[in-house]
Amino acid sequence: MDVSIINTIITAGVTLIISIGTWHFSAKKDREKQREDIKAELIKYHEKNREEITDIRQNDLREIREDVTALGANLQQKIAVIEIQINTLSERVEKHNQVIERTYKLEQAVEDLRKG
């Protein structure tokens, strides 16, 4: 075989190997860049969702605080009404007890008059 043909074949082979290596290295770099881009997108997505979740939590907590405050005010009103009702009932019971005591004393006085 002619030396020039062998040199051409060797040169073509080396060129092919270099091209394949370059392509492989370039493809590897592209895959790494794609991975980094995907990772960056995931981080951005996570940060965005974390902010939204934080906002939702803060809104929920604000609503809960408002509900608890409203319930507290409502309970205070109900307690005030119950206290008024208890005081009214206490006064009525006291009046009733006074009537019972007077009735008992009258019955004793009538009994003493009958005996005496």
Query: What whole-number distance in Å separates Cα of residue 24 and Cα of residue 11?
Result: 19
pLDDT single digits (tens) 86-114: 999 999 999 999 999 999 999 999 998 89
- Please report, for residues 10, 12, 16, 25, 98, the alpha-carbon distance to residue 22 in angstroms, rounded to integers and kept in the order given: 18, 15, 10, 5, 111
Q: How far is Cα of residue 86 from the mean position of the Cα atoms in its chain? A: 40
Q: What is the pLDDT of residue 20?
A: 80
pTM, two decimal places: 0.45
